[in-house]
Amino acid sequence: MTSPWPDKIALQQQMQRHGVRHLLVISGEADWCAEQAADFIDGQPGDWTWLSDTPPLWAADALPFSAAHTLLGQERLHGVFDARQGLNVEALAAFAGILQAGSWLVLLVPEWQQWAQRPDADSLRWSEQPQPIATPNFIQRLQSLILQDAACTLHRQHQPCELTVLPEAADWTPPDGQPTLEQQRVLQQLNAAQSGIYVLTAPRGRGKSTLAGMLVADWPGECWVTAPAKSAADRLAEQSAGKVRFWSPDALLAQLEQHPAADVDWLLIDEAAAIPTPQLSRLIAAFPRVLLTTTVQGYEGTGRGFILKFCASLPQWHDLRLDAPIRWSKADPLEPFLNQLLLFNDAPAEVPVEVLPSEQSLQLTAIQCGEWLSEPGLLADFYGLLTSAHYRTSPLDLRRLMDAPGLSFAAAMAGDRVAGAIWLVEEGGLSPTLAHEVWAGRRRPRGNLVAQSLAAHGGQIDAAVLRSRRVSRIAVQPGARRQGIARALLAQ
C-alpha cells in the first residue's frame, strides 16, 4: 500500500529550519491509528516518545499519562499522544511543552464522527461518575479548532490525506547556550540583589529553569534549589556548573527546623505554583534572597493566578518576565493552538469603571453547558476569571466545566463583560439506605463531599439525602469588588 506520507522527511527538515512544531491528528479505529503512526514514524529519526497507558510493544520510549509530570524540564524530538480511549489534557499540555523545534506531535483519536459521543475514559478522574461519560462539548470544540487550523494535518480513516505544506520563511537561529537579551536583563537584576523575593513567570519553552541555573553558576556563594519533583529541576542543574544542591520541599523544611540556612545566599524554587502555599511561605521566610519560577500556564495551574493570589500577600516582591521562546521560534503553530484550546492566555476582559453595576442593577445570567460552544467569548471570560482568582485551576477544570454532569453556573454581567462568576456542584440526593451507610462509615461513594462529610462526621444523616449545592468556585473581577456581586451570585 502506498504511504500517505511521501514528503514527511523533507517537511520535517523544513520544520527544523523554521524552528516550528506541527500537529498531526490521526483519527480512526484504534489498531488502524497505531498502524498509521508506525508508518509515519518509520524513517524519521527522533525520540518518538509515546504518552499512552497502552503503547504498542515496539514503542521504545513510552510513559503512562500518570508519569507526564516527570518529563517537565526535559526535551524530546517528536512525540505520540494516545487519546484513543480518553483525552488527558493536563498530560497533553505537559507533553507539548517538552517537544523541541522540528518536532511532530502525533495525536491519536477515535473515529471522527463518533468521537464526541464516545465515553471518555479520562472522565473518571474528574466527572465523579462511576462509569466513563461522553464529553461532547469539549471534543466538538477541539474538532472545530483542528479543522480551522491551517497548520494542522488531519488524517481520517477511509479518506485521503496530504501533509500540510509550510510557507517559505526565514531560517530560525536556535539558542547557542549563551543567555538571550531577555535572560541577560533578568540575570543582571538578580546578580545585583542584596535581598528580596523575585518571581519569574513565563510560558513553557522560555528558559526559566536555564536562567535559574545560570544564576547558580554565576553566583559566588551558596545556592539551594527546591521543586515539586527533582526531575523538574534537571535543566536548572545542567546549567549550574555542578554547584546546585537540591532539596525536596519537605526535606528542606525539616532541615531548616534543625539548622537555619545562615550561610545560604539564594533559595531557588522551581515551578513554585505547584507547591502548597503554607510550605512556600515558610521557605521564603528562611532565606535572604528567593527566586520563584512558575509557568504562566500549564497542567498544574497558572502563574497569572499565582501572582494575583499568593504574591499579592508578600510584603515586597519583584515581578520578572520572559516572553520570547527559545525552545522553538515565534512562528511555532503548536503553542497557539494549545493556548486557544485550553484557554491558557485568556485573562478576563476587564469591566470599565463607567459600566460597573450596582447590586440592584446587576444582570445575573444562568449558563447551560451547551452555551460554551455557541458563545466562546463567554467561556473565555468566565473561565479566565476563575483561573485568575484560583491559581490551582488547571485544564482538568476546563474539561469538568464543559462536560461534567451535576454542575450549574451563573455570571454577573456588566454589559457584555463578566464581572462575577460562580460554579456550583449539586450534592445530596442519596437514598436513605446509602445515606445510612455513609453515616455509619461503611460507604464513601464518589462526589457529595460536603453532604457526606456532614453525614459521616457531623452525624447529620439527612444531609446526604437532602439536595444541596456546594460552591466550587466563585470570583469577582478586582475592579468590581465590594459592589455586592458575590452576595448576589450566592443568593440567586
Q: Could you report the per-residue pLDDT of 335-374, keeping only the tens digit for each?
A: 999 999 999 875 666 666 555 556 556 789 999 888 999 9
Which CATH number is 76's domain given? 3.40.50.11040
Query: Residues 161, 164, 168, CA angle at the centre, nearest 5°?
Result: 155
| Mean pLDDT value of segment 268-296 | 90
**Residue 202 near residue 294 (C-beta atoms within 8 A):** no
Bridge partner residues of 76 (DSSP):
99
pTM of the model: 0.88
Would you say residue 338 lies in a domain?
no
Q: Is residue 277 part of a domain?
A: yes
In a domain, 448, yes or no: yes
| Tens digit of each residue's pLDDT (9 = 90 or more) over 3-30 | 677 789 999 999 999 999 999 999 999 9
Does residue 179 carry a pLDDT above 70? yes
d(CA 27, CA 115): 9
- Shared domain for 305 and 219, answered yes or no, is yes
Among the ranges given (171-180, 205-214, 328-337, 436-445), the one the predictor scored with the smallest mean pLDDT? 436-445
In terms of DSSP H, where are the helices of 242-333? Answer: 249-258, 277-285, 303-309
**388: enclosing H helix or E strand:** helix 376-389
Both 147 and 185 in one domain: the answer is: no
Q: What is the pLDDT of residue 258?
A: 92
Average pLDDT value for the chain? 88
Percent of the chain residues past pLDDT 90, beyond the cut: 57
Q: 65 and 198, same structural domain?
A: no
For residues 305 and 403, membership in a common domain is answered with no
Instruction: Please check whether residues 148 and 196 belong to one and the same domain.
Output: no
Please compute the mean of the pLDDT values over residues 130-136 and round it to a whole number: 96
State the pLDDT at residue 31: 96
**Percent of the chain residues topping a pLDDT of 70:** 93
Q: Based on the domain organization, do 218 and 295 belong to the same domain? A: yes
Spatial neighbors of 252 by CB under 8 A, at least 6 apart, are: 224, 226, 283
- Of 302, 321, 340, the last residue of a domain is 321
Q: Is the pLDDT of residue 478 over 90?
A: no
Residue 210, CA distances (Å) to 73, 259, 327 in order = 9, 29, 11
Give yes or no for residue 137 having a pLDDT over 90: yes
Does position 303 have pLDDT exceeding 80, yes or no?
no
**Residue finishing a domain among 321, 342, 366:** 321
My answer on whether 215 and 302 are in the same domain is yes
Among candidate residues 399, 447, 329, the one with its CA nearest the CA of residue 89:
399
Do residues 216 and 268 lie in contact, with contact meaning Cβ atoms separated by under 8 Å? yes
State which residues form the domain around 483: 353-491
Burial class of residue 432 in the structure, from the number of CB atoms within 10 Å of its CB (0-12 exposed, 13-18 middle, 19+ buried): exposed
Point out which residues pair with 474 in neighbouring strands: 422
Residue 187 CB neighbours (<10 A): 16
Residue among 213, 202, 411 nearest 307 (CA): 202
Regarding whether 78 and 45 lie in a shared domain, the answer is yes
pLDDT (mean) for 103-109: 98
CATH code: domain of residue 290: 3.40.50.300
**Rounded distance, CA 151 to CA 135, Å?**
25
What pLDDT was estimated at residue 221? 93
pLDDT at 299: 47
Q: Do 360 and 484 reside in the same domain of the chain?
A: yes
Highest-pLDDT range among 18-32, 419-433, 435-449: 18-32
* 143 shares its domain with 193: no
Closest CA to 468 of 431, 438, 425, 432: 425
226 and 151 co-located in one domain: no
Does the pLDDT of residue 263 top 50, yes or no?
A: yes
Predicted confidence at residue 26, as pLDDT, reads 98
Task: Report the pLDDT averaged over residues 283-306.
Answer: 78
Give the H/E segment covering residue 334: helix 334-342
Number of domains comprising the chain: 3
pLDDT for 395-423, tens place per residue? Answer: 899 999 999 999 999 999 988 889 999 99
300 and 404 in a single domain? The answer is no
Compute the average pLDDT of residues 303-307. 66
The strand ranges marked E within 83-173 are 104-109, 119-120, 133-134, 153-156
Is the pLDDT at 152 greater than 90? The verdict is yes
Query: What integer is the mean pLDDT of 435-459?
Result: 76
